[in-house]
Structure 1
Amino acid sequence: MAPPTGKRVKGVQIFRPFVYGTTAKPFDEKTNPKPPGVPDDHTHSWTVFVKGIDDVDITYWLRRVQFKLHESIPNHVRMIEGEKGKPFELHETGWGEFEIAIKLYYVPESSEKPQTLYHHLRLHPYGRTEEEKEDMRLNGGEVISWAYEEQIFNEPYEPFYEILTSGAMPPSFSSSSSGGPSANKSGAAGSKPPSGGKSKEKDGQVKMVRSEGGVLERSAMIPLTNRPGQPFSVETEQVEIKKLQEALVKVEKMLSKTKEEVAAKEKRLKELKESAGK
């Protein structure tokens, strides 16, 4: 962790959404053949990862990720360095489920201590109902166990605040028309805007505009709708809220019914006591 530089931006809280978890698939001669050298008792291939929502780059605030696997796995502590535009991930094979410790290391400008998350590797279909388990079996046996999380930075130091809020476009992005020479690959004149956004020119300035359902490179937004491989969105949130509301209605009906039953039993008990006292 780098020594603090500058002052903290008081009264400010910034969050950045991301996804972490595992994806596993059983070995199958046709769809997922076992690679040479894999032990005979290994039944699945699996991946553990940390990445941005909608595959948005998060390496501007997250420098590296450490994955601590089961001690029976050779080299069970792995450090993955950030590569711009790529998720932090590692691929393995195995036969058993276990808890993975995921340690997040932030960029030096943050002066923040590493934080640790824990995730249970899922190799077999799971769910609240048999229908949910069956859906996984029908999906080629692929078991997806992902979690949505929001990284919160309370009163970040000024240099880190500038990094977090500098916008989707790199500082070198020019408002010149396409066809000009590129100053660099990440955002010069004539280059494409970051994934999830599109450029719009107004009064000689090129600004990023959020595309429908997409997010900007350094945005705290989440997609509006679900897309293949991207299960977290505003649409998902609304579906979960609806489920919670429906569950609340059921719970209230159950409570009301229980209160009526208790009242009836108390009334009956009172009648029996009065009858016994005569």
Structure 2
Amino acid sequence: MAPPNNQKRLKGIQIFRPFVYGNTAKLFHPQTNPKPPGTPEDHTYSWTVFVKGVDDTDITYWCRKVQFKLHESIPNPLRTIENLVPGTPFEVHATGWGEFEIQIKLYYIPEALEKPQTFYHHLHLHPYGTDAEKEVMKLQSSILSQCYEEIVFNEPYEQFYDLLTSPVARGKGKGTKMMKGGMVGSSGERTALIPLSSRPDQPFSRETEKLEIKRLMEARAKIQVMNASAQEDLKAKEEELKRLRAELKGIAL
């Protein structure tokens, strides 16, 4: 039940939280991935669609539940996942043979007093990307398709903001998983920081961000050079056109 809407929004404040959504898929194989009993004969893959924190950090303190809308040919196509142990991903497992678009709807905790937000993910069952990326997927014998996303809460309500930034109890064992990836600040408060470096199974990091910025800056510089060259070519062609028009005018006279 949502709290009474007698709270004030924090004017001029924006706060965001990152997360990852996507799917994994694996081809059925007698040795490496045997088909479970009762699986339809034409189903060739087992797959999982998920929503989780970057580097498996906890998002249940702001995301209450996730609804996945699968293809209508799948039994019980509308699946809602909630009441998870903190740090556990929201995910649905299924089998099939074809790719399709999955609707993903995120519901926030009652204190947010915000409407749910919808995303879409195309289920990938086959290798995709560059030739090199496809080969890596083939060697891994499984597909991983995931996207990094950020939820931006514009002028959040006071109570929700306090929950987003409240300290997290530090502990040993399972509790430490909630603090992976730099998602808890040095003083114990929750933050939106992502890991400093990436791994093969976790490509979203500040290192990747810097490399992407560098790539974009290099591309921008290349475009500026190409644009300057095109401008010079255009100027030369305009001069040539002007000369030809003058010659034609002289002939006409």
Q: Which residue of 2 aligns with 1:249?
A: 221
Asked whether the 8 Å contact 1:67–1:100 carries over to 2, the reply is yes
CA distance in 1: counterparts of 2:191 and 2:73, whole angstroms: 40
CA displacement at 1:34 relative to structure 2: 1.9
CA displacement at 1:221 relative to structure 2: 0.7
Q: Percent identity?
A: 61
Q: Which residue of 1 aligns with 2:201?
A: 229
Selected match of 1:91 from 90, 93, 96: 93
Aligned with 2:216: secondary structure?
A: helix
CA displacement at 1:228 relative to structure 2: 4.3
Flag structure 2 segments of 5+ consecutive residues without an equivalent.
none
Flag structure 1 segments of 5+ consecutive residues without an equivalent.
174-186, 198-210
Aligned with 1:47: secondary structure?
A: strand
CA displacement at 1:134 relative to structure 2: 2.6
CA displacement at 1:236 relative to structure 2: 0.9
Q: Which residue of 1 aligns with 2:157?
A: 157
CA distance in 2: counterparts of 1:5 and 1:22, whole angstroms: 40
| Residue 276 (1) aligns with residue 248 (2) | yes
CA displacement at 1:131 relative to structure 2: 2.6
Q: What's the TM-score, normalizing by structure 2?
A: 0.87
CA distance in 2: counterparts of 1:168 and 1:61, whole angstroms: 13
CA distance in 1: counterparts of 2:239 and 2:224, whole angstroms: 22
CA displacement at 1:256 relative to structure 2: 2.3
Q: Which runs of structure 2 are paired with 1:90-239 in the superposition (5 Å)?
A: 90-127=92-129, 129-140=130-141, 142-169=142-169, 194-195=176-177, 197=179, 214-216=182-184, 218-239=190-211
CA displacement at 1:195 relative to structure 2: 2.7
Count residues in correspondence: 244
- Paired amino acid for 2:109: V
Asked whether the 8 Å contact 2:87–2:177 carries over to 1, the reply is no
Q: Which runs of structure 2 are paired with 1:59-78 in the superposition (5 Å)?
A: 59-78=60-79
- Paired amino acid for 2:159: P
Asked whether the 8 Å contact 1:54–1:215 carries over to 2, the reply is no
CA distance in 2: counterparts of 1:268 and 1:247, whole angstroms: 31
CA distance in 2: counterparts of 1:93 and 1:191, whole angstroms: 33
CA distance in 2: counterparts of 1:196 and 1:36, whole angstroms: 36
Q: What's the TM-score, normalizing by structure 1?
A: 0.80
Aligned with 1:22: secondary structure?
A: strand
- Paired amino acid for 1:87: P
Aligned with 2:93: secondary structure?
A: strand
Asked whether the 8 Å contact 1:24–1:144 carries over to 2, the reply is yes
- Paired amino acid for 2:229: K
- Paired amino acid for 2:96: G
* Higher RCO (CA < 8 A, seq sep 6+): 2
- Paired amino acid for 1:41: D
CA displacement at 1:5 relative to structure 2: 4.3
**C-alpha distance 258-220 of structure 1, shift in aligned 2 (>3 A):** same
